[in-house]
Structure 1
Amino acid sequence: MYFLVVEDEERAAAQLQKGLSEVSVVSDVCSNGLDAVALALKKEYDLIILDLMLPGIDGFEVLKRIRAAGVATPVIVLTARDSVTDRVTGLRSGADDYLVKPFSFAELIARIQALLRRGQALQHDELRVADLVVNFFAHRATRAGKHLDLTPKEFSLLSLMIRRQGEVLSRARIAERIWNLGFDSNMKIVDVKIGNLRAKVDGPHEKKLIHTVRGVGYVLEDRELAGE
């Protein structure tokens, strides 16, 4: 999963990003309302966590602008502003949920799960392809009933691929989503990490699920590796 965290307090933003990484969520962080709008319009996020008190423009205006531009990404407002008026304004401006600081990280994760489930976004906590099963919030993957010992980045990579099963993912898209690398970066890291993941997911099994599409990228799907 790929989130945008909009938070101008550096320590709070770092804690959020670290906590999200522990449940296999890759996140961009920005501290300015105008930058938040630009990123939300430019990139394909699965969810946005938005503070209200921001430099540039406040969170209410961020919501109005991205919704007016047609961005339907789920948004959770995470703020110290706890008045009923603020809550109503946030929800009317386009927020999907509103959580007041200080908050429990466990509650935030539960709200994220519920929100993504309601939006059918990413559509389930658990997905299966053939005998491969990935449970995102339990941070667990199995193949033929056996636990796969994956690093956090490998789990994030597998999560991205199984959520986009059947869709060919370019190296550039994978690099941006998993490592936040730009298009001018060295894409060899993608090939190396895909090789490591393939060894763990497909290595001991006759049926291969991770396939190379030459000159394009990689795809995870239930088919034979014919011609590759």
Structure 2
Amino acid sequence: MTRVVVVDDQTLVRQGIRSLLELAEIDVVGEADDGEVALEVVATAAPDVVLLDLRMPRRDGIWTLERLRDRGVDIPVLVLTTFDDDALVLEALRAGARGYLLKDVTLAQLAHAVRTLADGGTLIAPSITDRLLRAIRSGPSPVGPDAPPAQELTERELDVLRLVASGYSNRQIAEALFLAEGTVKNHVSTILLKLGARDRTNAVLRALHEGILR
């Protein structure tokens, strides 16, 4: 079973998410009501995915994402929130979130998102994708003003990057392109290096911003 930690300041919401995920045979192995507690729970429970609310009264979701990133924690984080503000979505993705869903999703959509992230993919709610793309292309570079210029990608690297942007995991990319999974991992590592990106999400953001992906 996929193992999940739920981070939300509302007890009733956490209990509701737990009950729903259990119906989908997803195991909730820990809960936290703010970012500080979340760091401890994630370290102890070692989940496959973290479900994270953004607006919490003490340490919020962005703070939590940044601390997880700074500590080198490579557990995928799915933001689950009521807020679809473009700036907030971008901030969460730049801080390391690999998925972003609104709380009006169905159980099937939530379960699919959790399993997608657990399998190494990414997922953003379709309702905010178009606005997000416009915001990415018109805003500052997601890797910061001091980042080196992006290096040109090969056609194969572009193929891999397009599938990364579509939420595919390494295994799914390997199947789609008839490659070994190890070869895909090598391509992804090279893409991150050439784009000066720290992770897959950041690489996609920069590629979209600079017109490498359209």
Give the TM-score normalised by the residue count of structure 1: 0.50
* CA drift at 1:24: 2.3
Deviation of 1:112 (Å): 1.8
Q: Look up the match of 2:18.
A: 17
**Residue 100 of structure 1, CA deviation:** 1.5
Query: Is this contact kept in 1: 2:31–2:41, CA < 8 A?
Result: no
Q: Which residue type is aligned with residue 15 of structure 1?
A: G
Q: Counterpart amino acid of 1:70?
A: G
**Over alpha carbons, which structure has the higher Rg?**
1
- State the Cα deviation string for residues 90-112 of structure 1 (Å, max 9, x = none): 10001000011222221111212
Query: CA–CA distance in 2 between the matches of 1:23 and 1:44?
Result: 20
Task: Write the distance in 1 (CA, Å) between the matches of 2:35 and 2:116.
Answer: 26
The DSSP-based 3-state class of the residue aligned with 1:102 is: coil
1:31–1:55 Cα contact (<8 Å) kept: no
Equivalent residue runs for 1:42-191 within 5 Å: 42-119=44-121
Contact kept, 8 Å, 2:21 with 2:107, in 1: the verdict is no
- Give CA deviations for 1:126-177 in whole Å, capped at 9, x if unaligned: xxxxxxxxxxxxxxxxxxxxxxxxxxxxxxxxxxxxxxxxxxxxxxxxxxxx
Q: CA deviation at 1:4?
A: 0.3
Q: Is the 8 A contact 2:79 2:97 kept in 1?
A: yes
How many angstroms does 1:38 deviate by?
1.6
TM-score by length of 2: 0.53
Q: CA deviation at 1:12?
A: 1.4
AA matched with 1:4: V
SS at match of 1:78: strand
Structure 1 stretches of 4+ with a deviation exceeding 3 A read 118-121
Kept after mapping to 2: 8 A contact 1:50/1:75: yes
Q: Is the 8 A contact 2:52 2:78 kept in 1?
A: yes
Indicate which of 30, 33, 51 corresponds to 2:32: 30
**Shift in Å, 1:19:** 1.0
Q: Give the C-alpha shift of residue 23 in structure 1.
A: 2.2
The structure with the largest strand share of the pair is 1
Superposition deviation, residue 29 in structure 1: 1.5
What is the Cα-based RMSD across aligned positions, in Å? 2.0
1:5-43: per-residue Cα shift (whole Å, max 9, x none)? 001112211110011112222211211221001222333
Sequence identity (%):
28
- What is the rounded CA distance, in whole Å, between the counterparts of 2:117 and 2:4 in structure 1? 13
